[in-house]
Amino acid sequence: MSTPKRLPARERILDTACELFSAHGIRAVGVDRVIAESGVAKATLYSHFACKERLVAEYLLRSDRNWRGKLRSAALAAGPDPRDQLVGAFDALTAAYEEHGFRGCSFINAAAECEPGTEPQAIAATHKETVRSWLQGLATVAGAADPALLARQLTLLIDGALSADHLEQSGQAAAAARSAAAALVEQSCP
């Protein structure tokens, strides 16, 4: 029998921090808890992450890659028509809600917990801008009369659905947002 290979310390720390921050929030999780649950020494954590803010930043960067990948995959799964992709992206919301321990949008949560002007706050804002820009590109290809407005409307629906489903724990907001997105796309794209 082979023994499972242990992850490098940096990955163990980041995996643990991501799980804890997602489940409990950024402020509620101290560095000592991350150290204890990842099984590393304090010096090891600080050799990889100079401070908690840097660890939070890495958590958000990982969340950004994961979430944008899920949005893109859901959009592509809807087919080649960019109008269908704009609506199909909303299937990622339903999938996110169905994951164990759904806690809403990592970026909205981080923005609420982190001070303005900090690296995590900037990463959260950049993430939102990047998603909106991607949707605007799809809206442009789809022939939207005002791609920037449609992208803004769709991102508001995404953020609202993630927040509502977190608060209500019903999963109904994602479906309602998808329906509203379909109506907006139909109205905006000939």
Mean pLDDT split into 10-residue runs, the chain, 190 residues: 66 94 93 95 94 96 95 97 97 86 87 92 96 98 98 97 89 93 96
107 and 16, same domain (yes or no): no
Q: How many domains does the chain have?
A: 2
Predicted confidence at residue 166, as pLDDT, reads 87
Give the pTM.
Answer: 0.90
d(CA 70, CA 97): 12
Predicted confidence at residue 169, as pLDDT, reads 84
Predicted confidence at residue 67, as pLDDT, reads 95
- Give a yes or no: residue 110 inside a domain: yes
d(CA 85, CA 91): 10
d(CA 75, CA 83): 10
Predicted confidence at residue 2, as pLDDT, reads 46
The parent domain of residue 150 ranges over 60-188
Residue in the structure block whose two tokens are 């899920």? 70
